[in-house]
């Protein structure tokens, strides 16, 4: 995608769970080459927003456009094939499998067949290419030397980095990260920030949900603030920090 072109457009999105509006008429854009932060207190609707953008749990109303395509009703695997990858707030790995195998999963899903079919029928050549791609991403997140360890042996922070490696194995144009720094130590957070900046420089567009305000404010180009399912504010870090509604509802000062 050309720098500045629209990667994501969310228009008047609503997500209703019974009587609860988890997302209520929210609209925002993400442009190619940006790192955008999606912040707000617990229960604000951030993860729900990720789910409706990635097809995991589609919107009740409103529209989602991804990379120029109407993605409002597309299933998750189709959205993934468009070049959209994500991580989850609650780590989803295969603890019995190696880091390498877990990272490779991110690439299978972009193939024509499903994961199981791919595992059974994948050509040797494809398998080798996928392994190479997965190792490259493990290297990128600093886990290359543990490629043959079981994922279940990793500390939580490392599991989050492995999830990012898995997402990157799909070679996404757009990466969504749900609280990637939760459980990371101070040094690991700095490495994560550096990694995300490098990704942006390499043309990957990022939408990040994160509670660590120091990390977010120093990383992102723009912020979208949600509260109670609604959009509270948008702007650059300085504008958001100075916004009285944000200070009251979110920062509590
Ligand atoms: P955040 O990620 O900002 O903390 P969530 O998107 O997880 O918030 O949740 C927003 C609201 O929607 C919360 O009140 C939550 O309990 C509710 N919610 C989320 N997912 C579901 C679901 N699958 N069914 C019912 N309620 C849900
Ligand atoms: Mg959440």
Q: What angle do CA 214, 34, 8 make, to 5 degrees?
A: 120
Give yes or no for a contact between 13 and 61, defined as CB atoms under 8 angstroms apart: yes
- Tell me if 61 sits within 8 A of 14, measured CB to CB: yes
Torsion, CA 230, CA 3, CA 208, CA 103, rounded to 10: 140
pLDDT, residue 2, reads 82
Neighbours of ion ligand 2 (CB under 5 A): 46-47, 89
Ligand 1 pocket residue status of 43, Cβ below 6 Å: yes
Strands 61-66 and 69-70: antiparallel
Looking at residue 34, its pLDDT comes to 96
**148 vs 231: CA distance, rounded Å:** 44
Per-residue model confidence (pLDDT) at position 248:
85
| Beta sheet of 84-86, edge-to-edge order | 84-86, 174-178, 205-209, 35-39, 222-227, 230-235
In the chain, alpha helices (H): 46-53, 76-81, 99-108, 115-121, 124-140, 156-169, 186-201, 213-219, 237-242, 244-246
Cβ(213)–Cβ(225) under 8 Å? no
- The half-sphere exposure of 218 on its side-chain side, counting CA atoms within 13 A, is 9
What domains sit in the chain, N to C, each tagged with a CATH number? 1-83+172-253 (3.40.50.300), 95-169 (no CATH)
Q: At which residue do the structure tokens 């609707």 appear?
A: 45
Per-residue pLDDT tens digits of the chain, which is 253 residues long: 787 899 999 999 999 999 999 999 999 999 999 999 999 999 999 999 999 999 999 999 999 999 999 999 999 999 999 999 999 988 889 999 999 999 999 886 555 445 555 566 666 677 788 899 999 999 999 999 999 999 999 998 899 999 999 999 999 999 999 999 998 999 989 999 999 999 999 999 999 999 999 999 999 999 999 999 999 999 999 999 999 998 887 766 5
- SS3 track for 168-202: HHCCCCEEEEECCCCCCCHHHHHHHHHHHHHHHHC
Instruction: Decide if 71 contacts 56 (C-beta within 8 A).
Output: no
CB of 40 closer than 6 A to ligand 1?
yes
46 C-alpha to ligand 2 centroid (Å): 5
pLDDT of residue 109: 57
pLDDT attached to residue 3: 79
Find the 85 Cα to ligand 1 centroid distance in Å.
21
Ligand 2 mean position, distance from CA 109 (Å):
24
Q: Which of 195, 199, 183 is closest to 141 using CA atoms?
A: 195
Would you state the pLDDT for residue 126? 76
């Amino acid at each position: 995608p050309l720098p500045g072109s629209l990667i994501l457009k969310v228009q008047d999105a609503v997500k209703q769970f019974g009587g609860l509006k988890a997302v209520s008429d929210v609209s925002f854009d993400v442009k190619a080459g940006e790192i955008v932060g999606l912040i707000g207190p617990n229960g604000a609707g951030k993860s729900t927003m990720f789910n409706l953008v990635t097809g995991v749990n589609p919107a009740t109303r409103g529209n989602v456009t991804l990379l120029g395509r109407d993605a409002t009703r597309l299933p998750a695997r189709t959205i993934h094939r468009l070049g959209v990858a994500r991580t989850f707030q609650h780590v989803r790995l295969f603890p019995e499998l190696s880091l390498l195998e877990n990272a490779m999963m991110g690439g299978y899903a972009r193939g024509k067949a499903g994961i199981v079919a791919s595992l059974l029928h994948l050509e040797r050549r494809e398998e080798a290419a996928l392994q190479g791609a997965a190792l490259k991403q493990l290297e990128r997140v600093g886990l290359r030397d543990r490629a043959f360890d079981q994922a279940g042996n990793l500390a939580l922070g490392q599991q989050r980095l492995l999830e990012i490696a898995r997402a990157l194995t799909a070679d996404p144009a757009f990466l969504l990260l749900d609280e990637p720094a939760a459980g990371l130590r101070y040094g690991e957070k700095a490495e994560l920030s550096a990694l995300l900046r490098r990704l942006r420089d390499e043309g990957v567009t990022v939408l990040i949900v994160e509670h660590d305000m120091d990390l977010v404010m120093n990383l992102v180009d723009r912020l979208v603030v949600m509260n109670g399912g609604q959009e509270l504010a948008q702007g650059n870090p300085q504008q958001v920090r100075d916004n009285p509604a944000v200070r009251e509802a979110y920062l509590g000062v």
